[in-house]
C-alpha cells in the first residue's frame, strides 16, 4: 500500500461516519479508530510500530457568554471561512525563510494558495475557495489542525 492510498483511506474515513476500520492482507494490517489514542500498523511477520495519533478534542460544554461577547460573534457571521480539508500541521509559508502566502488585509481570489497543511510528510497547498479580503488568521503557524477546522476569515468581495 502506497502513501497516497493510505491518504485516500484516511480521507474516506474522515468523511464517513465509521468509528473503526480494519484492513488486513498478506502484506500488511491497518487498524484505524476514530477518537482513539493510537493507531497500530504491523507487517505480517512482526509488528513494526505503534504511532501516536492526535486524539480528537473532548466536546466542550458551552456556558452562557456575557452580553458583550454576543455582538462580536454577530460581526463574524458576515465573513466566509477557509477551512482545512485535512488533518495535519498548518504552515503560513512555504518555508521558514519565505514570506507568508497571505496576511491580514490581503485580497484573495478563488484558487490562490493561502497556506500549506502537512499530512504524513506530504505538503499540501491549500487554495482559497472564496474571493475577498483576509480579515483574520485563526490558526498559529506550525500548529496541528483538524479536518474542517476554520483557518481564515474572509470578507467577501
Q: Which residues contact 40 (CB under 8 A, 6 or more apart)?
A: 29, 31, 47, 50
Partner residues linked to 154 by β-bridges: 80, 134
Would the pTM of this model clear 0.75, i.e. be above it? no
CATH architecture of structural domain 79-156? Beta Barrel (2.40)
Comma-separated ranges of CATH 2.40.50.100 domains in the chain:
79-156
Nearest residue to 138 via CA among 58, 78, 76, 59: 76
Q: What is the mean predicted confidence (pLDDT) over 69-86? A: 76
More confident residue, 26 or 107: 107
pLDDT band per the 50, 70, 90 thresholds, residue 157: confident
Q: Does the structure show a pLDDT above 70 at 120?
A: yes
Q: Identify which has the larger pLDDT, 144 or 1.
A: 144
- Residue 132 has what DSSP assignment? E
Contact 29, 44 (CB under 8 A): yes
Q: Please tell me the predicted confidence (pLDDT) of residue 46.
A: 47
Strands 80-83, 150-156: pairing kind: antiparallel
3-class DSSP assignment, residue 33: strand
Chain centre distance of CA 24: 27
Most confident segment among 13-17, 50-54, 71-75, 106-110: 106-110
Amino acid at each position: 500500500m502506497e502513501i497516497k492510498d493510505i491518504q485516500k483511506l484516511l480521507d474516506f474515513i474522515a468523511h464517513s461516519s465509521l468509528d473503526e476500520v480494519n484492513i488486513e492482507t498478506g502484506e500488511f494490517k491497518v487498524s484505524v479508530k476514530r477518537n482513539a489514542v493510537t493507531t497500530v500498523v504491523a507487517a505480517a511477520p512482526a509488528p513494526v510500530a505503534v504511532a501516536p495519533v492526535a486524539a480528537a478534542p473532548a466536546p466542550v460544554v458551552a456556558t452562557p457568554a456575557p452580553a458583550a461577547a454576543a455582538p462580536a460573534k454577530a460581526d463574524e457571521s458576515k465573513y466566509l471561512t477557509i477551512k482545512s480539508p485535512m488533518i495535519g500541521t498548518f504552515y503560513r509559508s512555504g518555508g521558514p525563510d519565505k514570506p507568508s502566502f497571505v496576511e491580514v488585509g490581503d485580497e484573495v481570489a478563488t484558487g490562490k494558495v493561502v497556506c500549506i497543511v502537512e499530512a504524513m510528510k506530504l505538503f499540501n497547498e491549500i487554495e482559497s475557495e472564496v474571493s475577498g479580503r483576509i480579515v483574520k488568521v485563526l490558526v498559529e503557524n506550525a500548529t496541528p489542525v483538524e479536518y474542517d477546522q476554520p483557518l481564515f476569515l474572509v470578507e467577501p468581495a
